[in-house]
């Protein structure tokens, strides 16, 4: 096996393992702290530092990975996630809002170090001009990751019922610590390390396409989290009277299906047959299509249609179209970057992603508490439309050597 490919697979395997714990801890925190009597807005605030420090980490993480190597950034992230999981195993009297926010901050930093490491690695495995291959590879990585995050939702909810909150956290921490040891042994030093040390001033992108794409990404992911993070699981548990396992299983299956659609996106869009990937026109079209679904679900609920059917059907359709949007964006950030600066460009782009998630998470709790799930869905519609409008500035990637970064 090619050495670069082997290194990438090890990085990806570590990322997948981390992703299971990331999905599980999110479901554990939402369900357990709601059970303890936290309001929806208080539950949302528990994730405030998770998303905020994700912004900071993505801004600095690409620069750090280019200086010390993607293997080290991944391992640092895994170690921090183990610590974050163990921090939450303390007695309930210790679990104040500031304490849990601090643990979630550590988890947010860890998650984005791992994401940046895996995503930035893809570019180095694909030669210039092979845009359809790049689209397939990044869609496979992103889609499989999301499928595993869905599995994490299920694992978190199931462990909460089977072994309790602290038992679940201990199991997850032990699993990830083992993966950390294995990846540290398999990866050589310096994977993804730049030959020249990048300056800190190079963190912010001066490429217009990347800036516009990052702005669109902010609103795209805000549109999902504004109803998915707090509003939806609390609605399913509180209004529709679903059990923890039912909530976790449904959201897990949704994310798994979402991941499979991402994997299939190149075939669904038929770009691989033409030797190229999608461009700004695809991002714009699919964003406008996506806006139909949160608006449709909100209207259905307001009309008094059966909530179970409206939520399940609408969420499945929203997930499929959202997955295509996300796959197109994930391809474009790599297509617009050159090999030398890909880690920093990916970090900048995911900084915007984390900013959208932060905004969506806070709005999810606030909007649900004041306006119910319908209010969350109308905010989602507005965010999707903003992403669509920003996508008018996105060009078709240039496939000649290095041109995509200019």
pLDDT, tens digit (0-9, with 9 covering 90-100), for 52-70? 887 788 777 766 766 777 7
pLDDT by residue (tens digit) across 7-50? Answer: 667 777 888 889 899 989 888 888 888 788 888 778 877 877 88
pLDDT band at 275 (very low <50, low <70, confident <90, very high): low
- What's the confidence (pLDDT) of residue 272? 45
Mean pLDDT of the region 250-272: 79
Residue 9: alpha-carbon gap to chain centroid: 19
Q: What is the mean pLDDT of residues 222-248?
A: 85
Query: Mean pLDDT over residues 376-400, rounded?
Result: 89
Q: Is the pLDDT confidence value at 118 over 60?
A: yes
Domain ranges, ordered by start, for the chain: 3-405
Four-way CATH pick for 3-405: 3.30.300.30, 3.40.50.720, 1.20.1250.20, 1.10.3720.10: 1.20.1250.20
pLDDT at position 217? 94
Comparison of pLDDT for 321 and 229, the residue scoring more: 321
Distance CA 128, CA 120 (A): 15
Average pLDDT over residues 221-243: 87
Q: 307-335 and 131-162 are packed helices; what angle lies between their axes, rounded to 10 degrees?
A: 140
Give me the percent of the chain exceeding a pLDDT of 90. Answer: 28
- Tens of pLDDT, residue by residue over 90-103, are 988 888 888 888 99
CA distance 156 to 152: 6
């Amino acid at each position: 096996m090619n050495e670069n490919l082997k290194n990438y697979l090890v990085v990806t395997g570590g990322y997948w393992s981390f992703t299971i714990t990331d999905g599980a801890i999110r479901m554990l925190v939402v369900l357990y702290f709601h059970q303890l009597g936290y309001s929806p807005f208080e539950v949302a605030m528990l994730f405030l530092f998770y998303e905020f420090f994700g912004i900071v980490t993505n801004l600095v993480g690409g620069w750090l990975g280019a200086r010390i190597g993607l293997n080290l950034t991944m391992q640092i992230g895994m170690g921090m996630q183990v610590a974050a999981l163990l921090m939450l195993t303390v007695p309930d009297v210790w679990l104040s809002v500031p304490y849990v926010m601090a643990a979630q901050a550590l988890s947010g930093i860890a998650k984005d170090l791992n994401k940046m490491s895996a995503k930035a690695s893809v570019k180095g495995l694909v030669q210039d001009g092979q845009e359809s291959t790049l689209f397939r590879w990044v869609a496979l990585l992103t889609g499989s990751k999301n499928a595993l995050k869905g599995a994490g939702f299920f694992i978190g909810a199931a462990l909460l019922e089977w072994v309790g909150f602290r038992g679940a956290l201990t199991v997850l921490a032990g699993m990830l610590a083992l993966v950390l040891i294995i990846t540290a042994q398999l990866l050589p030093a310096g994977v993804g390390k730049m030959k020249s040390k990048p300056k800190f001033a190079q963190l912010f992108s001066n490429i217009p396409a990347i800036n516009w794409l990052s702005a669109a990404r902010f609103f795209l992911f805000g549109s999902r989290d504004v109803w998915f993070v707090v509003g939806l699981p609390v609605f399913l548990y509180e209004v529709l009277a679903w059990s923890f396992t039912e909530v976790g299983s449904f959201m897990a299956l949704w994310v798994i299906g979402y991941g499979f659609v991402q994997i299939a996106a190149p075939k669904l869009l038929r770009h691989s047959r033409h030797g190229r990937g999608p461009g700004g026109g695809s991002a714009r079209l699919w964003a406008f299509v996506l806006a139909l679904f949160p608006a449709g679900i909100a209207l259905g609920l307001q009309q008094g249609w059966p909530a179970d059917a409206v939520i399940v059907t609408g969420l499945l359709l929203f997930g499929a179209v959202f997955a295509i949007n996300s796959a197109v964006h994930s391809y474009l950030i790599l297509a617009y970057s050159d090999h030398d600066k890909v880690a920093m460009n990916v970090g900048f782009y995911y900084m915007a992603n984390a900013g959208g998630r932060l905004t969506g998470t806070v709005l999810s709790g606030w909007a649900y508490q004041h306006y119910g799930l319908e209010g969350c869905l109308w905010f989602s519609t507005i965010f999707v439309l903003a992403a669509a409008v920003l996508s008018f500035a996105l060009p078709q990637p240039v496939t000649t050597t290095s041109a995509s970064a200019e």
